[in-house]
Amino acid sequence: MTSEQKRPVVLIIRDGWGNNPYPEYQESNAVHLANTPVDDWMRENYPHITIHTSGEDVGLPAGVIGNSEVGHQNIGAGRIVNQELLRISNMIRSGEFAQNEVLLQAISHVKNSGTNLHLMGLASDAGVHSSLEHLYGLLRLAKEHGIKKDQVLVHNFSDGRDCQPDLGIKFCEEIEAKLEEIGVGKIASVIGRFYAMDRDDRWERVEIAYRLLTEGSDSYVNKAAMAYREYYDNPDDDNRRGDEFIRPTVVLGDDGKPLPRISDGDSVIFYNFRGDRPRELTKAFCLETFPYDGEGKDGVTRLMGFKRNCKLSVNFITMTEYEQGMPVDAAIKKPPKMANTLGSYVSDAGLTQFRCAETEKFPHVTFFFNDYRDEPYEGEDRQIIASPREVTTYDQKPEMSAPEVTQEMLKRIESEKYDLIVLNYANGDMVGHTGSLSAAIKAVEAVDTGVGKIVKAVLDKGGSLVVTADHGNCEQMIDPETGGIHTAHTTYDVDLIVVDESYKGQELRSGGRLADIAPTVLNLLGLPQPSEMTGVSLI
């Protein structure tokens, strides 16, 4: 950093804070309805634009919503990163998927041993964690290799978070139709992602999913779709409505008996491609020692897991590599590490950096931002702030841990130790997912308050900020087609504001995307842009 450049440069990611361009939707726009004096002041006094966060602009198929993993990876990379969703879909279409040795070995094992093949994952077309196209690719592969119809069991993890909360029954019916068309497989279980895809060390939830998959449940249905319908009509409580919370349910076969559970000798393929949410359930199946001593997201080592009894002897396959060092075979390997991401480049330049977020988004500003790297770079400090655990859904505490994140940030800014600071406010996304408009408004206001304190502290130090988001969510809380609640991300653009006294009155480049944020940050840091970064500074 040259002597003329200011420090620190702070990147604030207001997760899930999008820009809804439609006036007719403002009555369901938490960003519009909230009292946001800081955001209003920044937009009035500093250059700002909107940037793209979905589809081909972030390495996803056209029209597919962005998400936090994709968003943070693109931001940290400074280039468009082709995502697992697109990579795997292209492999299926090219025929490469059908030649995958790991998948073929799992199927061959079932064929030779007469055991069962279990396909489990998020049954949703949102494209955030999984793809039904990938499930269908696995079903066709099993059929092509002679696996019998009743040897393939599909376990639906219902969504309701990255899509409308009651679309699960539609996806279930689509899957059942595809099973009939391909001629192999039956849906054997249904359970909400609230249980099967926890990422916050809430092992009591994961245990419920594990028991369903391996032992069963006292809730039975004759047809998988009935599990959805019965839960829609009789949710566990008012705070747990929709597909996300569907209780563990076993599907009965034509003989009236429960369809098979995962047992010794079976092959299991977890077809989610995104790694953060399948990890806990995967560890329950695959770790030799379980429960185990592990470091929580708060940095404290404690006993993780639940009493599993004996480890099942199963051939467990994950679609991608969920975590380094996990003792499982991954069908699709990660691409080579990218050179000169923002974190590595700043470190190699001899500068210091700090990353901060609460539990729900801490992996995003570290692991995903650093291209799936767990270890900090030289000169990179991190601080996780615990997300509230006293509530089951964040509409019950819409401020979440934003005040604590803000206080940690103010302390770090005051230290004058860091050249680059990256933080994430989780509220707009996590509260937006609950579908509560009133809570989302409070969430936006909590973030705005925190941002205001940080902006003042940074400007007092002569620093500069980039204030933006990874994707939208809380700016659309009512589905315009159904009139029901909207809990998913959006494809809307997000705001980007450059808060720097020297750029007042200037205009930013239009047509930007998330990949352009890192070059913009380097511009503010006074560092040249490496050739590997193909994004373009917005300044």
Residues annotated as catalytic are: 68
- Whole-angstrom CA distances from 305 to 266, 283, 294, 297, 384 are 23, 9, 9, 14, 21
Rounded to whole angstroms, the Cα distance separating 358 from 365 reads 10
- Is the C-alpha dihedral spanning 326, 328, 329, 330 positive or negative? negative
What angle is formed at CA 348 by the lines to CA 343 and CA 349, rounded to 5 degrees?
Answer: 100
- What single-letter DSSP state applies at residue 531? T
Outline where DSSP puts E strands in 224-281. Answer: 249-251, 267-270
Task: Give the distance from CA 345 to its chain's centroid.
Answer: 25
**C-alpha distances out from residue 173 to 123, 220, 246, 250, 256, Å:** 11, 18, 16, 16, 20
Residue the block writes with tokens 């034509």: 254
Decide: helix, strand or coil at residue 164: coil
Query: How far apart, in Å, are the Cα atoms of 38 and each of 47, 367, 402, 495?
Result: 14, 30, 15, 14
**Longest Cα pair distance anywhere in the chain, in angstroms?**
78
Instruction: Give the residues across from 382 on adjacent strands.
Output: 355
Strand order in the sheet with 420-425: 48-51, 494-499, 464-468, 9-14, 420-425, 353-358, 380-385
Secondary structure element (H or E) that encloses residue 75, with its range: helix 68-77
Of 449, 489, 494, the C-alpha closest to 473 is 489
Cα angle: 485, vertex 128, 336; to 5 degrees: 160
In whole angstroms, give the CA distance from residue 67 to residue 53: 8
Q: What DSSP line would sit under 467-496, residue for residue?
A: EE-SSB-TT--B-TTTSSB--S-B---EEE
Quote the CA–CA distance of 379 and 109 in Å, as a whole number.
Answer: 48
CB 45 within 8 A of CB 454: no
Residue in 434, 421, 517 with CA at minimum distance from that of residue 470: 517
Cα–Cα distance for residue pair 125/97, rounded to 1 Å: 20
In 100-245, at which residue ranges do the beta strands (DSSP E only) sit? Answer: 117-122, 152-158, 186-192, 220-221
HSE-up (13 A, CA, CB side) for residue 169: 13
Would you give the distance in Å from CA 291 to the centre of its chain?
A: 25
